[in-house]
Structure 1
Amino acid sequence: MSLSQKHSNLTLVPWFNRNEWDYVYENAYSDHKEQQVKALDLLKVWKLRTPVLPAGVEGTLVILEAILTNDSLLTVEQLCHLYAIGIMRFLNLSAANSEKQGDFARTSMKNELPKWLIILRHDIAHGHQIPSLSSLRMGLEYGLQWLKEKYWEPQCNILRDYVAIEECATEDLAVFLSVYVQVKMESFKNKGISEKAVQNIILRSIIQMSDYGPVGVEILEEMIKQSLPLGQNKSGIGDCLKNVLVTDNALLFGKPESAKIDVEFKKLWSELLNILQEKKLLFVLIGKLYDITIDIEVSHTLKSVAALWIYEILLSLFALKYSKDNENVSISNYIELYSYDTYVQEALRFQEQVLKSFNSYSLYFIEMLLKYNENSDSFIVDTLSLIKHDNSDIKNVTDKIFTLDDLNLEETFEDTLGSIGNSPNINVSRCVRKIVGQQKWTKIEDTSIFANCPFGVLPHQIDLKHPFILM
């Protein structure tokens, strides 16, 4: 499978990382020929890695290869032909390429190429004589500066690394996230944490980071961000979030008061939530929190905290979505998100999942979810009314699992005798003898206790209540 198929929405490039790209850029435009030769050598390596280079890179390779030719080994005529070919290839591949024939002049003017360069190219292609060496040299030097303005400088402002996440990258994410959680929880429990304590936690967990020098929380957050490529391997990332973040030692820590997440505790995780928002992974986290609310092996407290976090995240997304479009919308006490990304399909799928398998913990966040998905007011009212009616019998939820040992069998037996006593056809005095359970079955010799109980009718079955039983 090709790389483009494995990693959609990403562009496969020949450079290893941004540092390698910067190295070529800086050396290509150096005033020293030796530095330009280094850039040319690496450009040739890129050409071997990816035969079809970006137009700006291809043009830079063509021009540098012509300019850096050892002119002492060639005649002036040979050098003129070499420069002429360089100008032609630069213009055709980088500056004035078009899908339509005959559009060269128009495309060149659109790309802000000077008229003299267009005439120079015309003379090369159609003239009987090659232009002078100085004119050709000037054309190449102008082309190199044009590429700097049109390709290298704009790309320098927007180019960034994307690493295809694999198993090793997920392991790195787990390590960085685990250390980040330790630092944050230590800070929350102790009402603050010193830089030295942060260093000790980081270096104790990530030995190889000692080579980087002092590493603070901000650098740790950047490492987490770099370990979260956009839209890739959400399953692996989700498992990592579940194992490290969605635990009682992280997001699910403590017991919420008044059915709310503590304000300071929310602020503690705001930067991490913004990182997940930037990478479009907030609904991956919501999904893992929801799994907690439907897990029968998880305690009531953890389920409640997970449901409250779902509400807080949905509230933040709702505020981001509607405060941007409507200044009159007033929402308070939410985690501010900076990156404006919506989750249309993910939110609708989550709504369908919640409504299909609704439980009492969904009451914490269902209204906010319905509002975020822009359901009509009537649908929201009807849905909430139906849900609250179905859950009206749920008063108190405890973590205790009841068994048969919790039943009071003696009270049950006496209640049965009481109901028998209301029947005129049954002599209660002959039925009050208790049958005491033993470890083994024993045959009852005295059958008098079954007097006035016709075959097929038990003591608690009364003829008035069962008219089809013949007494």
Structure 2
Amino acid sequence: MALSMRQEGIKQVPWFSLAEWHQVYKQVYSNNVNEQNKGYEMLLVWQARIPKLPVGVDCTLAIMQVCARDREWTPKINNGELPISYENDLCLMYSTTIMRLLNHISNIGHTKQTSLFQIAKQLNIPEWIVNLRHDTAHGHELPSIGVLRIAINILLVWLHKQYWAVEEAKRMEEYLIKKSVKEVQETEEVQDFDDLIELWTSVSLYIHAGYHLVLNVPDLQLKETLQDLRSYAISLLKENSEDMENDIDNYIETANDDIKKDKKYTLETARIVLLSEISRFLNKKSIPGKKDIVCNTLLSSEVFLPSKNMLAIFSKNTENELEKNVLPLDMVEFWKDIIFLLCEKDFMEVLIVKLLELVNNNEVSEEKKLLASLWISSISYSFLKLDIAHSICRTLEYHLEKMQKKLPSKAFELKVKEEVDHIYPHLKCVLWFNLSDTVLSCLTDIKFISKLILNINEFSLKFIVPILELLSSKIDNKSKQLLLNLMNVSIMVPLDKNDINSIECEKIFTLSDLKDDEYLVDTNKVEDEILHFLADKKIRNNYWNFAVATHNWAESPIGLLPWQNDGLEFVNPLNMIVQKYDVSVLDSEILPGIIDMKNVKIHGRINWNNVLRKKKRLKRKQDRRNRNIIMNKALETLKKQK
């Protein structure tokens, strides 16, 4: 019969969290005396918070108290620092603790027997411990200190089995169930967004293939899904839902008009309604890790990072465009509404970080790395265009204010866009963000960009140019070209001497440059001179390279430096003494409050069927397969027309 606080009817608990309860439990049943003392101190804190502790905690506190006192006094009694009478005091404390514990447990649960011996038998407490209590209350002498220590350790084990382990199992079950429910909810949220993206992608693919009406779509399952979506949108309009109308003002008006006027249901209308639903999802604040969910879903899409065969959907000259380090314009146009949404809802920084992680992941294919780097480039150029637009916007505002003129917001933005396209024609095909948007802080942060440069690979050069332009601390063209040249050298990319955009700059010298230069250097002589810098003139392995005399060895990693001899002295590690008792000590001596946990069994009571919820997960997997079938049909239809 467990000493559960639920059986005791106690609603208040003295611990602030499950983590605190679990920590105290581990400390109380630790063989480390220091840890046990910390557990005892925390039990005292619990008693200060709530004087009427749960029975299991109260009994544990009493045992910890007498054991701590025993461990403190016994060494001093043995050394003669305390009189022998202190041992009798310990016997009194042990006897009182055992008596109180048995009195406590005889008053809980459904123990209605009048005899304490019968209660102890029902609760699996040894009969001789009940006799100790009887001798304490009615005998002429107290039991010996050794017997009392054995009894108190047995009762500590009994408390572990009947209170701490049971409560631990219950709390663990509650935690796992809550965690499972949370994971199921998160999985459902991920699946919902995944379904929305796949439906939106499928509809957009049919539009790209030339289909206009939902009625003409060859996929019956998609038609039924879109009809359900239309019914859902109509129900929202009838309820005068403001949520849907406030999500995407520039998109939803047309869709609402089509739905209200009962026109023929077009794919464009369905696409806009799906876009509004995606926006509603992005607005939800109750979804943990929402930004990661959205970006991971996008990066796993077959159309956002397509294979070579899939790229043919967007362009016939895909290879030429990729060689020029640009994404196909049709592909950027296809995804622009989603990109605008992510920018509006503050998801772009997470998307860029995710794309960078993909570029630096060695397990990802070269094709995906290239596409990810080009997406970073496309997005960075869009923010560069926005940064230029902001600059032109300020200038135009100044001139209009000086002339005492005022333009409507749409006309003003159109004027700024025309000015940007005129001055920077190479940015004309780049996505145009709203003037109200802001440039991502990470793309202007010198620390973030420095990390990009220090961790470059062959794909970094695809997107680093627009990012360098966005730096808050502007650098001149000459320094910028030097930096790009250095990046080319560091990733072993040959410099393009015919590049008309490159400017004259100092050459970056390498060993091959020295040999090819008109001022030839005798490298053998240089190596002989460097060899004199070694202390013992010994090359220890083939991986060492000769360093120049001006090399700063103070910045080298810790290890054997070239001028050092082999005889190095090392500092021996400190020997730390930890008060922890091994099994042999536990078997041979009686230590108060120290028990052998290998003999203590914990029986969990977790219902794993309730935790795993297998049936619901199988249903979600079936829904997922249906969504995949819809998008695959859309892709096949589009491929046939190409």
Q: TM-score under structure 1 normalisation? A: 0.43
Q: TM-score under structure 2 normalisation? A: 0.32
